[in-house]
């Protein structure tokens, strides 16, 4: 039985109270795309609008950040299915849980720091524990904002993967985000997705990539080094692999978009191939993310590969321009190249 479309409870006019971006700096809205790289605008918002054409149960919800999570496109297309909750993240997720209990599929957006720190208990108690069908989509994951610790969600994967019932996804690029959105909607249960917003790089389409929930995919082969990467670090790993060809270092890249449930079968199969150093690369603190998850499974299964980990330090990070920060903390393409060359010497 099709549920009636809910009426908008709060006026979208409240968005006029949203803080204006500081146009003198690109720290908040900077793209991770390199100069001249192909990009696609707002892949999440575009995919959700398209999906909602045939899914009247889908709702868009945000906490005063529709423009900055690309959900404003959904609001323009479906104003009667768009809920602007104001600067109240706890209310956002509590209301999303209630709507999910009535049979709707809420896509709730905010910044990753606000979901995983400010509203963690509300997500834990009203969504995860109740196994509600809420899709949590969060911008500025890891080190994708230059505004410092208040907006850098360096520990979000550790927090969300520790939550029972929660599926956790970290897409690489615009191509993958477009495929993840319908997969999230088709999955029954709560999902947390890291969101790359605005002008998002296009990378994986060059490799004829297809997203499958819970599956890791080998993007390219290589005999010397195996990158096990997620999110934007798969893009960086692929770029580094191309550069390392000049140094006669053959690099494979295994992309792991689903952090939970983790595709341990594929990870173990690739890590067991002899003669390759295994390097986990993630845009996340080295505590509690993909690196520790992979290391645990390698040890439990007796895989004795040479293991290295590239991630953000266990520290509050500096503020500044993203390219400078990515170099400083070792997650830029050149930083990956330099580190692999040191380890191969």
Q: Enumerate domains of the chain plus CATH numbers.
A: 37-201 (3.40.50.970), 214-344 (3.40.50.920)
Q: What's the CA dihedral at 236, 238, 239, 242 to 10 degrees? A: 150
Give tens-digit pLDDT for 80-90. 999 999 999 99
User: At 312, is the secondary structure helix, strand, or coil?
Assistant: strand
pLDDT at 29: 56
In this structure, the strands spanning 135-139 and 105-111 are parallel
- Among 89, 155, 239, 282, the active-site one is 89
CA gap 45, 41 in Å, rounded: 9
The answer on pLDDT for 26 being more than 70 is no
Does the annotation mark 245 as catalytic?
no
Q: Residue 206: how many CB atoms within 10 A of its CB?
A: 12
Using DSSP's 3-state secondary structure scheme, residue 170 falls into coil
Rounded Cα–Cα distance for residues 151 and 154 (Å): 9
Task: Give the Cα separation of 292 and 12 in Å (integer).
Answer: 42
The whole-angstrom separation of Cα 290 and Cα 69 is 24
Q: Which pLDDT band holds residue 92 (cuts at 50, 70, 90)?
A: very high
* pTM beyond cutoff 0.85: yes
SS3 140: coil
Distance, CA of 183 to CA of 37 (rounded, Å): 27
Cα distance between residue 300 and residue 309, in whole Å: 18
Q: How distant is the alpha carbon of residue 313 from its chain centre?
A: 19
pLDDT at 30: 64
Could you report the per-residue pLDDT of 263-316, keeping only the tens digit for each?
A: 999 999 999 998 999 999 999 999 999 999 999 999 999 999 999 999 999 999
| Mean model confidence pLDDT for the chain | 92
What is the distance between the alpha carbons of residues 263 and 303, in angstroms, rounded to a whole number?
A: 16
| Tokens (6 digits) for 168 | 């956790």
Using only the alpha carbons of the chain, give its radius of gyration. Answer: 20
What's the residue count for the chain? 345
- pLDDT band at residue 35 using 50, 70 and 90 as cut-offs: confident
């Amino acid at each position: 039985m099709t549920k009636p479309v809910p009426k908008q409870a709060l006026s979208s006019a409240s968005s006029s109270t949203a803080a204006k971006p500081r146009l003198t700096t690109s720290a908040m809205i900077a793209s991770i795309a390199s100069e001249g790289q192909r990009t696609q605008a707002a892949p999440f918002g575009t995919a959700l609008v398209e999906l909602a054409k045939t899914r009247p149960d889908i709702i868009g919800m945000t906490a005063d950040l529709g423009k900055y999570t690309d959900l404003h496109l959904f609001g323009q297309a479906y104003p009667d299915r768009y809920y602007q909750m104001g600067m109240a993240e706890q209310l956002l997720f509590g209301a999303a849980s209630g709507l999910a209990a009535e049979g709707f599929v809420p896509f709730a957006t905010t910044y990753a720091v606000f979901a995983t720190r400010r509203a963690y208990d509300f997500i834990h108690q009203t969504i995860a524990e109740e196994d509600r069908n809420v899709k949590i989509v969060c911008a500025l994951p890891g080190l994708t904002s230059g505004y410092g610790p208040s907006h850098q969600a360096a520990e979000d994967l550790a927090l969300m993967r520790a939550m029972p019932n929660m599926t956790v996804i970290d897409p690489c690029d615009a191509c993958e985000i477009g495929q993840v959105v319908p997969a999230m909607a088709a999955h029954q249960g709560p999902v947390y997705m890291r969101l790359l917003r605005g002008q998002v790089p296009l990378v994986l389409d060059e490799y004829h990539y297809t997203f499958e929930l819970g599956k890791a995919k080998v993007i390219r082969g290589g005999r010397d080094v195996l990158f096990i990467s997620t999110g934007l670090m798969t893009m960086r790993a692929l770029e580094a692999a191309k550069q390392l060809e000049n140094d006669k270092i053959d690099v494979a890249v295994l992309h792991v978009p689903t952090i939970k449930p983790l595709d341990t079968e594929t990870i173990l199969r690739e890590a067991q191939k002899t003669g390759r150093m295994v390097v986990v690369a993630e845009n996340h603190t080295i505590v509690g993310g993909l690196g520790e998850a992979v290391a645990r499974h390698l040890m439990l299964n007796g895989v004795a590969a040479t293991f290295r980990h590239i991630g953000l330090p266990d520290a509050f990070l500096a503020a500044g321009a993203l390219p400078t920060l990515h170099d400083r903390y070792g997650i830029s393409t050149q930083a990956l190249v330099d580190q692999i060359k040191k380890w191969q010497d």
